[in-house]
Amino acid sequence: MKIKDKSVFAIFLLTPLAIGSISSLLSGNARGYDDLILPSFAPPAALFPIVWAVLYLLMGISAYLIYETEDPKKQKALFLYGLQLFFNFTWSILFFGFSQYFLAFLWLLALLFILTLMIYYFYQISPLAAILQIPYFLWCVFAAILNFAVYKMN
Q: For 15-41, how does the pLDDT look when each residue is reduced to its tens digit (9 = 90+)?
A: 999 999 999 999 876 567 888 999 999
In a domain, 77, yes or no: yes
Residue 1 resides in a domain: no
Number of neighbouring beta carbons within 10 Å of residue 40: 5
Which structural domain range is residue 137 located in? 6-153
Alpha helices in the chain (DSSP H): 6-27, 29-32, 47-67, 74-92, 101-125, 127-153
Answer whether 130's CB lies under 8 Å from 98's CB. Answer: no
Q: Does 36 reside within a domain?
A: yes
CATH number at residue 62: 1.20.1260.100
pTM for this predicted structure: 0.94
Contacts of residue 98, defined as CB under 8 A and 6 or more positions apart, other chains included, come to none
DSSP state, 42? P
pLDDT score recorded for residue 33: 85
Kindly report, residue by residue over 50-89, the tens digit of the pLDDT.
999 999 999 999 999 999 999 999 999 999 999 999 999 9
- Does 86 map to a domain? yes
Is 121 contained in some domain?
Answer: yes
pLDDT at 88: 97
Report the number of distinct structural domains present in the chain.
1
